[in-house]
């Protein structure tokens, strides 16, 4: 995050990808021990989604590094709870792994395990770079990430516990479906085309944390209360 801007949000970001879960350890292995590539976070007033990761390296002439840049929508930062922000950090960090693996011509994870599905992602990147077809790229990545919901939830739960939250794993699972993956959730629709009660609960759990409001209800009509808290925009941090 830009120096002196959103310092409390920067703390959430640092804690979210530094919890040392199996997933975030891959992120740390790639970016923390790498002198030539950085994972950087910034904000934008024009971003359409909550967060977005640039699909290619960005050269930084000051640090002489090739950076993977994650942006957050500024209005999102001012309303979202820390749990929502931490979830977005973890989600976008997975995108950052894909960027790094593609740009570095890697087809293995840092622990040496071959990832057979990444070749499909590499093909999607190639298509993106030649056609600028970002929708196809996002769809492919989000389909892949939708299979990692439990991994994201595990990392998010570790963040929550480190910050004093005592919440169920199912809550963290619901929160982890955000970020363009909802179309892959099942069961999403009933035969008549209406959303299932589970899907209603899922979506409204996500937006309650995103907007820090209690105006949303689960599939059974019960009010949903946000569980996290919105970080202060300046120090001291809450």
**Angle (CA) 42 43 44, round 5°:** 135
**pLDDT, position 69:** 94
The secondary structure element, H or E, covering residue 4 is none
Look at residue 112 and tell me if it is in a domain. yes
pTM value is: 0.88
C-alpha to C-alpha distance for 196 and 189, rounded to whole angstroms: 5
Please count the structural domains in the chain: 1
**pLDDT, position 213:** 98
User: Counting beta carbons within 10 angstroms of the beta carbon of residue 22, is it exposed (0 to 12), middle (13 to 18) or buried (19 or more)?
Assistant: exposed
Look at residue 122 and tell me if it is in a domain. yes
C-alpha to C-alpha distance for 192 and 165, rounded to whole angstroms: 38
Look at residue 105 and tell me if it is in a domain. yes
Tokens of 190: 């009933």
Look at residue 171 and tell me if it is in a domain. no
The secondary structure element, H or E, covering residue 22 is helix 22-31
**pLDDT, position 117:** 52
How far is C-alpha 39 from the geometric centre of its chain's CA atoms? 13
Look at residue 179 and tell me if it is in a domain. no
Please count the other Cβ atoms lying within 10 Å of the Cβ belonging to residue 39: 23
Expressed as residue numbers, the domain containing 101 is 7-166
Q: 10-residue block means of pLDDT along the chain (238 residues)?
A: 83 92 85 88 92 89 90 96 97 88 64 52 54 60 84 96 97 94 94 97 98 98 98 92
**pLDDT, position 86:** 97
C-alpha to C-alpha distance for 217 and 234, rounded to whole angstroms: 32
Look at residue 222 and tell me if it is in a domain. no
**pLDDT, position 28:** 87
Look at residue 128 and tell me if it is in a domain. yes
Check whether the bond before 236 is cis (ω within 30° of 0): yes
Look at residue 237 and tell me if it is in a domain. no
**pLDDT, position 238:** 87
Tokens of 113: 């395990």
**pLDDT, position 114:** 46
């Amino acid at each position: 995050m830009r120096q002196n801007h959103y310092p409390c949000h920067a703390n959430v970001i640092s804690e979210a990808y530094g919890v040392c879960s199996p997933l975030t350890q891959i992120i740390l292995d790639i970016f923390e021990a790498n002198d030539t590539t950085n994972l950087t976070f910034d904000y934008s007033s024009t971003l359409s989604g909550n967060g977005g990761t640039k699909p290619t390296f960005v050269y930084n002439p000051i640090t002489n590094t090739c950076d993977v840049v994650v942006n957050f929508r500024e209005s999102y930062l001012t309303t979202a709870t820390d749990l929502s922000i931490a979830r977005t950090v973890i989600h976008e960090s997975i995108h950052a792994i894909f960027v790094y693996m593609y740009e570095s011509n890697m087809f293995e994870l840092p622990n040496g395990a071959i990832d057979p599905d990444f070749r499909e992602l590499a093909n999607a990147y190639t298509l993106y770079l030649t056609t600028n077809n970002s929708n196809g790229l996002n769809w492919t990545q989000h389909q892949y990430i939708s299979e990692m919901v439990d991994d994201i939830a595990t990392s998010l739960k570790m963040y929550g516990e480190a910050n004093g939250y005592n919440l169920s794993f199912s809550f963290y699972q619901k929160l982890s479906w955000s970020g363009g993956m909802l179309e892959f959730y099942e069961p999403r629709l009933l035969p008549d085309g209406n959303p299932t009660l589970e899907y209603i609960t899922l979506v409204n759990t996500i937006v309650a944390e995103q907007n820090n409001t209690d105006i949303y209800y689960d599939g059974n009509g019960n009010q949903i209360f946000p569980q996290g808290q919105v970080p202060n925009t300046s120090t001291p941090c809450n």
